[in-house]
Structure 1
Amino acid sequence: MQMDVTQDRDLKFWERMQFLIGEERPYPWAESKGINKSAFQSAKNRQKKPLPKTVKHWAQLIGCSYQWLNDGIGEPFLENPETAQPVAVADHSVKTDVPLSIDQQLLMQSIETAEKALEIANGTMTPDDKAEFISTLFFNGNLNNVSEELLKACISLIEKALKETRRSMSPSKKTELILVIYNFYYDKPWTQEHLKSALDQLIRSVS
């Protein structure tokens, strides 16, 4: 019975998302709204409803009602979307009075587990897919007060930089670098450009 309720909830969520997407192609549409590509693709492919904090974040980026998107209550838009002012920069910040804390040991174990699994399988992943895999391992404990999208973006950023420069990094050093960038941006608006700029500055400072 619980499975049926969950599946119905997931189905209705993606029906509401399809209403918002309309005739556009889903992935370009999501990207145009500033929604994290890997998070959107993973949820859509599995037809799963994201965590409430992620749904709230998507609603902010889309400009629709969070209550409608999350629960189907009320109207999708609080004002006429034709007259709504466009958002120049997507605000990825998570507003909270409690600092977002990350279990460094758990994150490092998640990275080690992902890399060990790839080594055993003799396989590879794109930076975005690897970030998704590591995040799945990390969030398996249903942790609160952690920005899933920001953490994935930080992991993916580091993985892309290592791939482009053909360098390797130990899980412990990788974890430290991810947390430096994450902790700086957890309560600020951010974009991929902001994160990359921060990483470039860090690299220059230790070169």
Structure 2
Amino acid sequence: MIRAGLLPARLPTARTALALLLGGTLAASGIGLSHWSGSEKDEAESALARMQRQHAQLATETAQLRQQQPALQAALVHWKTLAARGALLPPAPAMWSSEAARIFARHDIEAETLRFTSTPALERSVETSSARILTHAADIDVGLRHEGRLIPLLTALMAAHGAVVLPRACTLARNDDDAVKHIQARCRLDWLTIATPPQDLAR
């Protein structure tokens, strides 16, 4: 026999048990959703921080490029000038000699055919990934009627196509043995060209 005092005042019905079960399930689901939402928020904040760092880096690089733009534009102008003068073409001593001979003839100056010497260190066949300046030197030894004819001659040689021509040194001496060409001019000039790297190395 079961005593009445030991029985609960009210036994849970099936509906009550189901309600308790659903409540526990929803509570557990709420905890899971809260945890999942917090993890997603952390990932979103991390992604936002990465984007902000990338944006700051791009802004810094853009500012640096803007500061370098004048220098880059000036370098581009110089590069185009060199290309227009043919300084980016391979060295052509034979062509330079022919051009110099025509210049001497226009200035009514007798001169021997130019002989060029190159810098051995710059003529080696080792390929590099940067542009190199190649130097070819030539000496001229000409008789002039007076000193004033030297500058126009050098100016014409410096304007020759196919290289950048720069006078390195000149000496003038009086020639008393020649009644017409009173001045003997000896000059050394450099023919400069630029060797660009091969395409496969420049990439």
For normalisation by structure 2, the TM-score amounts to 0.20
Q: Could you say which structure has the higher strand fraction?
A: 2
- Structure number with larger C-alpha Rg: 2
